[in-house]
Amino acid sequence: MTRDRMWRRLLIAMFVAVVAFTGYHAARTVSDAIYWNAHRDEPIERWMTIGYVPHSYHVPPHVLHRALNLPPAPDRRPFGRIAQDTGQTMTQIDGKLTYAIVHARPPYPPPAAPPRSSPPTSSKP
């Protein structure tokens, strides 16, 4: 096999890999778009997380954290577990989230920015 033929095969293999990679991610993007289009404003259920609901309702996650008095750090617990851990019922959680979601959307003013962590203060004598 000549050197030119080997380079040609290598370039064709790399081209096929790039096309496959691009095709995979394009299909995944379309799939996600179809999924979220069909799952707009889903009723809040116990299995949902704070990460799922902002996608469905198009609100910033910090709005839900603030409504449930949770720190702004990512929280992957389902709402059923959050209700159990905070001693609330799922009805109370649902009510707080629904109120926050309604007031984070138009015609209400946009929600406040997420809280920033304050830099440590140095004590000067």
Euclidean distance between CA atoms 98 and 115, whole angstroms: 21
Q: Which residue has the tokens 């033929």?
A: 5
Q: What is the pTM of this model?
A: 0.63
Q: Where are the domains of the chain?
A: 1-38, 42-112
Q: What is the pLDDT of residues 65-122, one digit of tens each?
A: 999 998 888 888 999 999 999 999 999 999 999 999 998 888 777 777 777 765 555 5
Euclidean distance between CA atoms 119 and 79, whole angstroms: 31
Q: What is the pLDDT of residues 3-52, one digit of tens each?
A: 888 999 999 999 999 999 999 999 999 988 887 777 788 889 999 998 88
Is-cis flag, bond preceding 107, omega within 30?
yes
Residues in the chain: 125
